[in-house]
Amino acid sequence: MAKILLIETATEVCSVAIAVDGHVVALAEDLLQPNHAARITLLIDDCVQQSGISLDMLDAVAISRGPGSYTSLRVGVSSAKGICYALDKPLIAVDTLLALAWASREDIEVQSSKFEVRSSVFELQTSNFKLFIPMLDARRQEVWTAVYDAHLQEVMPPQPLILQNNLFYEFLQTASKSVPAEVFVVSGNGAKKIGNDLIDENVVLSDIQNCSAKHLAGPAEHFFQKSEFQDISYLEPHYMKLPNITTPNKPLF
């Protein structure tokens, strides 16, 4: 039974969970206060208390590696590395966009299994020609996005995208040239930028909007079973943008 601590800090959400064999048994998150440095250890302790699984009982630690905010990712990755160093645990890195795509695929499967299901959801679930497009808000009209097929294999790598001047449609057309698609499933907090004028009958907005540590459970378990671990010393997060470090105009002394 793989017991994995899951840490998500790629966006304004600070979220921690513990999963056993890919199933979340504890979840603690702060959706309102973007103060990851002050909250993350408290959330970890909360999950330990909920689950009864102490940190030394863990089999691995999984971190959401971005793309995301520079400061918040540094907090999450530093916390994960510290636990791994101290307790000699392996480190798993999950791309944030992959976690969102994974969660949106699972959401479709859950909805379609309900007794009463909307026909559109059923058709979406049964279609073999769908692409998953997670999006992370990168301010203004920019998002970070990627494309995954129905088996969550990467079709287009993580990249920035401006949602203006038909660039979104051009992006969809480029993606569907690699893998023919009938449906595009858009998820993540960047999905809200897809206005009505950009949505057509082939674009479906997923209910998966916010990043959450619970979304790491599936991919983290997958990587654990394949022993795909990171070198703790060299893992670097995937930042949307590097910090703007300026030089003072006047000498300090």
Is the backbone of residue 164 left (phi > 0), alpha (psi -120 to 50) or beta? Answer: beta
- Average pLDDT of the residues in 168-191: 88
* Residues 58 and 136 placed together within one structural domain of the fold: no
The whole-number average pLDDT for the span 103-122 is 63
What does each C-alpha distance from 138 to 61, 86, 197 come to in angstroms? 27, 34, 20
Average pLDDT rounded to a whole number, residues 101-110: 89
Q: Does residue 190 sit in the same domain as residue 216?
A: no
Number of domains in the chain: 2
- The answer on 133 and 121 residing in a single domain is yes
Q: What pLDDT does residue 108 have?
A: 84
Domain check: are 91 and 108 in the same one?
A: no
Q: What is the pLDDT of residues 211-232, one digit of tens each?
A: 999 999 999 999 999 999 999 9
* pLDDT tens readout for residues 125-155: 545 568 999 999 998 889 999 999 999 999 9
- pLDDT at residue 203, as a whole number: 87
- Among 6-10, 20-24, 35-39, 169-173, the least confident range: 35-39
* Cα distances (Å, whole numbers) of residue 172 to 67, 127, 145, 198: 20, 17, 11, 11
- Say how many C-beta atoms besides its own lie within 10 A of residue 238's C-beta: 17
**Residue 166 has what pLDDT?**
82
Three-state secondary structure call for residue 18: strand
pLDDT at 115 over 50: no
Q: Which residue has the tokens 């480190």?
A: 91
User: Using one digit for the tens of pLDDT, what is the confidence trace for 36-95?
Assistant: 888 899 999 999 999 999 999 999 999 999 999 898 999 999 999 999 999 999 999 999
The C-alpha R_g of the chain, in whole angstroms, comes to 19
Question: Which domain covers residue 17, as residue numbers?
Answer: 3-95+211-225
Given this model, what pLDDT does residue 116 score? 41
Q: Which CATH number does the domain housing residue 64 bear?
A: 3.30.420.40
Residue 188 has pLDDT above 90, yes or no: yes
CA distance 95 to 26: 21
Question: For 240-249, what is each residue's pLDDT tens digit?
Answer: 876 655 555 6
d(CA 228, CA 92): 7
Mark whether 18 and 53 lie in a shared domain: yes
Q: Are residues 26 and 62 in the same domain?
A: yes
Percent of the chain beyond pLDDT 70?
A: 85
